[in-house]
């Protein structure tokens, strides 16, 4: 095995990373493909930055997602009870293969397509409310409530419980360091609620994904209780959080590129193809889920010992000039095929078609409703979530401008 010397261990500046992760990762990428760093948790990790190396590593079976393959004391993740931790993000084959096969039998293209009209109605209803004011925060009033409504519809969560789900998820994915107990309380609340929800679906199944997951089987195989609970947890958290940021980042990108935005307004049918470029340019997940080599391996010519934490930088890969021409430029005409925002290999996002559909509908509805919409603050004033793991705005203040004359009312919506 060839062995290059990695760059010197360096701490990650979380403030710089939140403000402009692409500049931070570009410096690493220019210095070499693999780096020994100190993460924001204070623990060492290996950061991979080149597109080819990241893509290859995403599909490398020697890079395990199972935390039991981590070096003792070398990884510090969120402490979850087994009933929430037995999910696809912590599994390798054959368990991953078995559970993904079962989920795929329930999470069908037909079920996703059935959500198209409800997503459109929800987007229109949220925009009706936004249209009543000249100013709006498009995270709190649009990008966040749309996905939580979609995911709760998908799982069969009653409307009265949805605000709780949103607050629990926020506490888990962006914990407040000044109030560490909130995340622990959120875990307990979510576990208790999902236990009651699954029991209710067993007694009275409905036409929703959770009922389908309870019923699905492959010959004599079916999901056990922890697997079922963990899947519901994963679908809720990942389906909500990542889509919020995908939509929010996409809106900001378009507002900061008014000439290209005007082209899309003139030809909204192009939006479907542009979602991939939006995900590449400023996606919601800068880092893939951490991995642990099951043996000493070579990445980019650097030997990474078994059990060490490996971080694959999707943000760095998406701005690699060896893969994407002029990668720091947003371009609605770019063919972004091959972007890694939704994963690659056996861990490719199961909810990718739903996320793309939500984003396309959300953008189309918003751009059609507010032709004069503009940022209400300078880009430098925008605040981002202070975390390595996700790329998302805390708020997106806009001036809505004059709403189109043919907006649909609460009672006359298309």
CA distance 81 to 4: 40
Taking each helix axis from N to C end, the angle separating 225-255 and 352-369, rounded to the nearest 10 degrees, works out to 30
CA distance 130 to 396: 13
- Number of Cβ atoms within 10 Å of the Cβ of 296: 14
DSSP output for 284-325? S-SBPPPBEESS-EEETTEEE-TT--EEEBHHHHHT-TTTSS
Higher pLDDT, 161 or 270: 270
Bridge partners (DSSP) of residue 304 are 297
pLDDT of 406: 44
In whole angstroms, how far apart are CA 162 and each of 27, 122, 194, 298? 41, 14, 12, 45
CA distance 242 to 355: 8
DSSP 393: B
In whole angstroms, how far apart are CA 382 and each of 328, 346, 366, 396? 19, 36, 20, 7
DSSP output for 120-167? HHHHHHHHHHHTTSSEEETIIIIITHHHHHHHHHHHT--GGGHHHHHH
CA distance 79 to 390: 18
**How confident is the model over 81-112, as pLDDT tens digits?**
888 888 899 999 999 999 999 889 888 889 89
Strands 7-11 and 135-137: unpaired
**How confident is the model over 61-71, as pLDDT tens digits?**
999 999 999 99
**How confident is the model over 216-228, as pLDDT tens digits?**
876 677 888 888 9
DSSP 380: G
Among 190, 193, 201, CA closest to 223: 201
CATH number at residue 63: 1.10.630.10
Instruction: Give burial (CB, 10 Å; 0-12/13-18/19+) of 102.
Output: buried
Share of the chain above pLDDT 90, in %: 61
**How confident is the model over 357-408, as pLDDT tens digits?**
999 999 999 999 999 999 999 999 999 987 778 899 999 999 998 644 344 4
Helix (H, G, I), strand (E, B) or coil at 42: coil
Share of the chain above pLDDT 70, in %: 91
In whole angstroms, how far apart are CA 138 and each of 59, 124, 354, 413? 36, 14, 20, 20
Residue 165 has pLDDT above 60, yes or no: yes
DSSP output for 225-270? HHHHHHHHHHHHHHHHHHHHHHHHHHHHHHHT-HHHHHHHHH-GGG
Q: Would residue 340 count as lying in a domain?
A: yes
Q: Would residue 37 count as lying in a domain?
A: yes
Q: What is the helix (H) or strand (E) element at residue 9, kind and residue range?
A: strand 7-11
CA distance 132 to 121: 17
Q: Would residue 404 count as lying in a domain?
A: no
* pLDDT-based confidence at residue 41 (cuts at 50, 70, 90): confident
Q: Would residue 45 count as lying in a domain?
A: yes
Q: What is the mean pLDDT of residues 149-169?
A: 84
**How confident is the model over 312-334, as pLDDT tens digits?**
999 999 999 999 999 999 999 99
Q: What is the mean pLDDT of residues 339-360?
A: 94
And the tokens for 136? Answer: 């709006």
CA distance 354 to 145: 16
In whole angstroms, how far apart are CA 30 and each of 7, 35, 185, 198, 319? 11, 11, 42, 49, 11
Q: How far is CA 223 from the centre of its chain?
A: 24
Q: Would residue 413 count as lying in a domain?
A: no
The boundaries of the domain holding residue 47 are: 7-399
In whole angstroms, how far apart are CA 181 and each of 69, 205, 385? 28, 35, 19
Residue 412 has pLDDT above 50, yes or no: no
Mean pLDDT of the chain: 88
Helix (H, G, I), strand (E, B) or coil at 85: helix
CA distance 146 to 153: 11
pLDDT of 4: 47
Q: Would residue 146 count as lying in a domain?
A: yes
* pLDDT-based confidence at residue 174 (cuts at 50, 70, 90): low
* Cβ atoms of residues 306 and 293 within 8 Å: yes
Higher pLDDT, 256 or 169: 256
Domains in the chain: how many in total? 1
Higher pLDDT, 12 or 245: 245
Residue 9 has pLDDT above 60, yes or no: no
Question: Of the given ranges (14-18, 135-139, 246-250, 380-384), which has the lowest mean pLDDT?
Answer: 14-18
Higher pLDDT, 159 or 210: 210
Q: Would residue 414 count as lying in a domain?
A: no
pLDDT of 159: 84
Q: Would residue 1 count as lying in a domain?
A: no
């Amino acid at each position: 095995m060839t062995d290059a010397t990695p760059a010197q261990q360096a701490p990650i500046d979380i403030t710089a990373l939140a403000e402009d992760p692409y500049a931070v990762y570009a410096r690493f990428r220019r210095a070499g493909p693999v780096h020994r760093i100190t993460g924001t948790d204070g623990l060492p990790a290996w950061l991979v930055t080149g597109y080819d190396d990241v893509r290859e590593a995403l599909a490398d079976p020697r890079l395990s997602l199972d935390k039991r393959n981590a070096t003792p004391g070398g990884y510090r993740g969120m402490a979850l009870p087994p009933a929430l931790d037995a999910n696809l993000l912590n599994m390798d084959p054959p368990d991953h293969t078995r559970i993904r096969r079962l989920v795929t039998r329930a999470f069908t293209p037909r079920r996703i397509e059935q959500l198209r009209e409800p997503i459109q109605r929800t987007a229109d209803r949220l925009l009706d409310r936004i249209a009543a004011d000249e100013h709006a925060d498009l995270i709190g009033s649009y990008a966040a409530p749309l996905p939580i409504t979609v995911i709760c519809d998908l799982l069969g969560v009653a409307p009265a419980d949805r605000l709780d789900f949103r607050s629990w998820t926020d506490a888990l994915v962006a914990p407040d360091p000044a109030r560490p107990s909130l995340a622990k309380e959120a875990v307990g609340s979510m576990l208790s609620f999902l236990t009651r929800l699954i029991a209710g679906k067993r007694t009275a199944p409905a036409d929703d994904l959770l009922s389908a997951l309870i019923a699905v089987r492959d010959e004599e195989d079916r999901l056990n209780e922890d697997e079922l609970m963990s899947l519901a947890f994963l679908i809720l958290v990942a389906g909500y959080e990542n889509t919020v940021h995908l939509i929010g980042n996409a809106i900001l990108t378009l507002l900061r590129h008014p000439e290209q935005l005007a082209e899309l307004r003139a030809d909204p049918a192009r939006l479907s193809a542009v979602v991939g470029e939006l995900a590449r340019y400023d996606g919601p997940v800068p880092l893939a889920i951490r991995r642990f080599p099951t043996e000493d391996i070579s990445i980019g010519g650097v030997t990474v010992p078994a059990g060490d934490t490996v971080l694959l930088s999707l943000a760095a890969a998406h701005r690699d000039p060896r893969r994407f021409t002029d990668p720091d430029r947003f371009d609605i005409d770019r063919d972004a095929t091959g972007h890694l925002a939704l994963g690659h290999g056996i861990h490719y996002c199961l909810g990718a078609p739903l996320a793309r559909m939500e984003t396309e509908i959300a953008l189309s509805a918003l751009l059609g409703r507010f032709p004069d919409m503009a940022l209400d603050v300078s880009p430098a004033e925008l605040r981002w979530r202070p975390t390595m793991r996700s790329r998302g705005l805390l708020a997106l203040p806009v001036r809505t401008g004059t709403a189109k004359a043919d907006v649909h009312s609460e009672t006359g919506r298309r």
